[in-house]
Amino acid sequence: KWEVAESASKQERRVFAEACEYVKRHPDVTCLLFEKTDRLLRDFWMSHKIAELLYKFEKQIHFFVGGYVIDKNSDPETFLRLQIDLVFASHFIANLRRETKKGLLEKARRGETPFRVPMGYVHNKTTHLVRKFDETKAPWVRRAFELIRSREYTLESCREKLFAEGCLKRYFPWKSKLENTIRNVFYKGIIKCQGQFFKGNHPA
């Protein structure tokens, strides 16, 4: 039994792919059970994977809520139903993606944070506003900016200096983490969303 909780919008459903590989390696697994078609098919790009299961590996797929079964010998009407279900599932995902992007962009236009805040800030989960600093981590973010701004430190030597001064290594576990931090315009009071920049309501 495989429980797939991955986002429908992801182009690579890792757990689902593992399940497919498992049934391919086990000829004794002849039937796959899915609640509905959209639990199996999420987009047109997956069609070839389903065809492979049906034709190459001769699997039979049962949709126990949808109420039909499909295999390589199914009649054209059953395949038509599968294709129609795919059209609706693909449209639902594409529309959901579009509406989600619109919602995030609107939040950014209002100066609100449409995503997880970076290290050093406190995100109020009730009001969804960012008004306070995390006083445990924020001082180390400020210190990182000070050291880099002095032009006396490389990214690596900046990390070493921070650690020597007492910064926990988990705050900047990699050099890339430090680089992403000092390049993040959020610390300047700016929100970047979908390639656009907006003035944020949060403190710089």
pLDDT digits (tens, 9 = 90+) for 18-46: 888 899 999 999 999 988 877 777 666 67
The Cα–Cα gap between 55 and 65 comes to 23
Cα Rg, the chain, nearest whole Å = 25
| CA neighbor of 94 nearest in space, from 39, 36, 44 | 44
Q: What is the pLDDT of residues 150-202, one digit of tens each?
A: 999 999 999 999 999 999 999 999 999 999 999 999 999 999 999 999 999 99
Separation CA 152–CA 21 (nearest Å): 52
Residue among 117, 180, 139, 171 nearest 159 (CA): 171
Residue 43 confidence (pLDDT): 64
Total-model pTM:
0.65
Secondary structure of residue 123 in the 3-state scheme: strand
pLDDT-derived band at 130, boundaries 50, 70, 90: confident
